[in-house]
Chains A and B, each alone.
Chain A
Amino acid sequence: MTLREVNSENQQSQSGQPSHDRSALAQALTPALTVLISLVGLFLLWSLAATMWPSRAFPNPGQVWQVLVKDTVSGELPYHLGVTLARVAASFVLAMTIGSVIGIALGTYRRADQFFNAWVILFLNVPALVIIVLAYIWFGLNEVAAIGAVAVNKIPNVVVTMREGARALDPRYREMAQVYRFSALDRVRHILLPQLQPYFAAASRSGIALIWKIVLVVELLGRSNGVGFQIYLYFQLFDVAAILAYTLTFVAIMLLIELLLVQPFERHATRWRRRPA
């Protein structure tokens, strides 16, 4: 390090110190505040529209809230929500694990990729509904068929993303690891996974959104509990307020998972990247 570099670093740390706390707090709050204001805006727009065109098929937020509270107190909503979340989690873990292994293998071995590429394209384009129906016919109306069908729908997407990731692996790091005789475990932990992290994050982001939508369809078609089943039930009763109550609660939970789990994990995994000054 040259003397000039040392000096500039000292200056940075000196000038950065006093205002550090306040600006950090403001920085942390601004995104949350923006989201809050934008959600309040949407809520106001909805109330306004519901008052202008009153209809049983278009309840105002108050009515939805009433259903939400009633079903929460009765324990019905938490039960169905829990069941659906468990299915989402199981299919997600299954799809990410199997998809990553296949994707990395295809990205690493060209011959295998040339052979299986057609399969990947085929599975990418089979409609979710077909897979679900076939799974129920072949394996019966049970939990394994439901979770398996959702996972099979997601796996090709994970494969495609992780295959790109494996193709983009930097050979220099592999060679460095070879020269310094890294153990197999160290290679996976310190060379492979950090390079694949952005692809893994992309796959899980799009994965969670896709999976929970498909889980609802699976529940609608062949399960007797879960948010999808409830929505189908209320569809038959034409109870839009209940449909919205279930949907909004689930969306809120997914948002919380994103904010409290996915984003902090990503921040931790990318802490080494140079922050914009």
Chain B
Amino acid sequence: MQPVGAVAPLRVDIAEKTFRSAQGVSVTALKDLSFEVRHGEFACLLGPSGCGKTTTLRILLGLEKDFTGSFRLPGGEHNRVAAVFQEPTLLPWRTVEENIRLALPKSLRQTDLDSLFQTLGLSTMRSLYPSELSLGLARRVALARAFATEPAVLFLDEPFVSLDEQTAERLRYLLLSVWSARPTTALMVTHNVREALMLSDRIIVLSPRPGHVRGVFDVRLPRQYRNPQVMSDLGRSFREKFADVL
């Protein structure tokens, strides 16, 4: 039996977010940004660099308080959020497993993480320190940490940036397999169209700064049918629709 709030969408209505630089110049990062991510949906926030994607995530994560507008996270009372940041942000002085367990709420601290470690290929690395991991592995640990908390909503901020394409692709598949085993409402920031087409149910395209929704691209096709041929067709129609943005 799910609580009522659990099936609620992620609803975002940010009227304005302005940054004031040290010289006193104010820059409007976001203006009239509203969108919705349905329950259990994987959405991507795509846009040119500097359009306020990361700022949007920071607002939703509660790290930026100074903005006008509102947002509502799904999940009701159990509204745990999880985030995978641009950098893995693991505590260097704690082992892989400690890093993950520390992020868990008290009630889940002793939970069995074996299958999660298994899926992400981290079983043999539980007792390593983050400095002993490659960037790709550290990213996997960050993914494991996010999924282990069983969040009502998951935010990912370009989690595969600065990896070689082969590793990034491998991680995208890993992300998909963990996510399908533990489906949760997810919002991922990216500027990689192919990545967005591969992973998401819908792509929310942002305009250049000040960021607002330029359009929405629904990828209705189930993920298992998104082979290279289909992906390039999807890519073409996406580019036709949003030629001015990219």
Which residues from 246 to 277 on chain A have a C-beta closer than 8 Å to any C-beta of chain B? 272-274
Residues of B with C-beta under 8 A to A190: 91, 93-94, 102
Decide if B105 is an interface residue (CB 8 Å cutoff): yes
29 example contacts (A-B, Cβ-Cβ < 8 A) are as follows: A1-B136, A1-B137, A2-B167, A173-B89, A173-B91, A175-B63, A175-B85, A175-B89, A176-B83, A176-B103, A178-B62, A178-B63, A179-B61, A179-B82, A179-B83, A180-B102, A180-B103, A180-B145, A181-B105, A182-B103, A190-B94, A191-B91, A194-B91, A194-B93, A272-B92, A272-B93, A273-B131, A274-B131, A274-B132
Residues of B with C-beta under 8 A to A2: 167
Decide if A186 is an interface residue (CB 8 Å cutoff): yes
Decide if B81 is an interface residue (CB 8 Å cutoff): yes
Identify whether the interface residues of B are mostly helix, strand, loop, or mixed.
Answer: loop
Q: Output the least CB separation between B119 and chain A (Å).
A: 15
Decide if B217 is an interface residue (CB 8 Å cutoff): no
Interface residues of A (CB under 8 A from B): 1-2, 5, 172-173, 175-176, 178-183, 186, 190-191, 194, 272-274
Q: How far is the CA of A190 from the CA of B103 in the complex (A)?
A: 11
Q: Output the least CB separation between A270 and chain B (Å).
A: 8
Decide if B134 is an interface residue (CB 8 Å cutoff): yes
Q: A172-B85, A173-B91, A178-B63 are in contact. List 9 more A-B contacts (CB 8 A).
A: A1-B121, A5-B134, A175-B61, A175-B89, A178-B61, A179-B61, A179-B82, A181-B80, A186-B102
Decide if B207 is an interface residue (CB 8 Å cutoff): no
Residues of B with C-beta under 8 A to A191: 91
CB < 8 Å: which of A176, A181, A273, A274 contacts B85?
A176
Residue interface mask B102-135, A partner, CB < 8 A = 1: 1101100000000000000100010001111010
Residues of B with C-beta under 8 A to A5: 134
Q: How many A-B residue pairs have CB under 8 A?
A: 58
Residues of B with C-beta under 8 A to A175: 61, 63, 85, 89
Q: Output the least CB separation between A36 and chain B (Å).
A: 33
Residues of A with C-beta under 8 A to B16: none
Nearest residue, chain A, Cβ from B170? A2
Nearest residue, chain A, Cβ from B132? A274
Residue interface mask B40-79, A partner, CB < 8 A = 1: 0000000000000000000001110000000000000000
Q: How far is the CA of A2 from the CA of B121 in the complex (A)?
A: 11
Residues of A with C-beta under 8 A to B85: 172, 175-176
Residues of A with C-beta under 8 A to B94: 190, 272
Residues of A with C-beta under 8 A to B167: 2
Residues of A with C-beta under 8 A to B82: 179-180
Q: How far is the CA of A230 from the CA of B111 in the complex (A)?
A: 61
Residues of B with C-beta under 8 A to A273: 92, 131
Residues of B with C-beta under 8 A to A274: 131-132
Q: How far is the CA of A274 from the CA of B92 in the complex (A)?
A: 10
Q: Say yes or no: B134 contacts A1, CB within 8 Å.
A: yes
Decide if B149 is an interface residue (CB 8 Å cutoff): yes
Q: Say yes or no: A272 contacts B131, CB within 8 Å.
A: yes
Nearest residue, chain A, Cβ from B103? A180
Q: How far is the CA of A208 from the CA of B165 in the complex (A)?
A: 53
Q: Say yes or no: B134 contacts A179, CB within 8 Å.
A: no
Residues of A with C-beta under 8 A to B106: 183
CB < 8 Å: which of A1, A172, A180 contacts B149?
A180
Q: Say yes or no: B149 contacts A272, CB within 8 Å.
A: no
Q: How far is the CA of A179 from the CA of B105 in the complex (A)?
A: 12
Q: Output the least CB separation between B162 and chain A (Å).
A: 16
Q: Output the least CB separation between B56 and chain A (Å).
A: 15
Q: Output the least CB separation between B72 and chain A (Å).
A: 17
Q: Output the least CB separation between A136 and chain B (Å).
A: 44
Q: How far is the CA of A175 from the CA of B61 in the complex (A)?
A: 9
Decide if B13 is an interface residue (CB 8 Å cutoff): no
Residues of A with C-beta under 8 A to B134: 1, 5
Q: How far is the CA of A59 from the CA of B191 in the complex (A)?
A: 79
